[in-house]
Amino acid sequence: MEINDNVLRKTIRATKGTKYVMIVHPLFMGATLDRYVKQREGEGWKIQVVNVEDIYAAYDNGMATPVAIKAYLRNARRSGVTHVQLVGAASYDYHDYLGLGSVSFIPSLYAESNEYIKYTPCDACYVMGKNELPFMAIGRWTVRTLEDFENVVNKTLAWKNSGQESSKTALLIADKADRGYDFAQQLKSISDKIEENGWTHTEVYLDESSNAATAHDEIMSTFSEGPSLLVYNGHAASSTWSFSRLLHQSDVTSITNSGKTAIALPFACNATFADSPYINTMAHQLLAAGENGAVAIYGAATMSSFGDNGVAMGKVLENMIAGKTLGEAIKKAKRSLGASYRDVIRNGNLLGDVTLEMK
Per-domain residue ranges for the chain?
A: 6-141, 161-352
Q: Residue 3 above 50 pLDDT?
A: no
| Cβ contacts of 65 within 8 Å, gap of 6 or more | 56, 107
Q: Residue 2 above 80 pLDDT?
A: no
Q: Residue 94 above 50 pLDDT?
A: yes
Minimal CA–CA distance to 156: which of 293, 285, 250, 272?
Answer: 293
Query: Per residue in 228-258, pLDDT tens?
Result: 999 999 999 999 999 999 999 999 999 999 9
Q: Residue 136's pLDDT is what?
A: 97
CATH of segment(s) 161-352: 3.40.50.1460
Q: Which is more confident, 294 or 10?
A: 294
Query: Per residue in 99-139, pLDDT tens?
Result: 999 999 999 999 999 989 999 999 999 999 999 999 999 99
CATH of segment(s) 6-141: 3.40.50.10390
Inter-residue contact 308 to 318 (CB < 8 Å): no
C-alpha to C-alpha distance for 50 and 305, rounded to whole angstroms:
35
Q: Residue 271's pLDDT is what?
A: 96
Q: Residue 16's pLDDT is what?
A: 87
For 85, left (φ over 0), alpha (ψ -120 to 50), or beta? beta
Q: Residue 274 above 60 pLDDT?
A: yes
Question: How far are the Cα atoms of 2, 45, 47, 50, 168 from residue 37, in angstroms, in the given order?
Answer: 32, 9, 7, 12, 26
* Entry pTM: 0.96
Query: Per residue in 42-51, pLDDT tens?
Result: 999 999 999 9
Q: Residue 193's pLDDT is what?
A: 94
Same fold: 6-141 with 161-352:
yes
Kindly tell me the sign of the dihedral angle through the C-alpha atoms of 324, 329, 333, 334.
Answer: negative
Query: Per residue in 146-204, pLDDT tens?
Result: 999 999 999 999 998 899 999 999 999 999 999 889 999 999 999 999 999 999 999 99
Q: Residue 112's pLDDT is what?
A: 94
C-alpha to C-alpha distance for 319 and 313, rounded to whole angstroms:
10
Query: Per residue in 30-87, pLDDT tens?
Result: 999 999 999 999 999 999 999 999 999 999 988 999 999 999 999 999 999 999 999 9
Q: Residue 1 above 50 pLDDT?
A: no
pLDDT band at 7 (very low <50, low <70, confident <90, very high): low
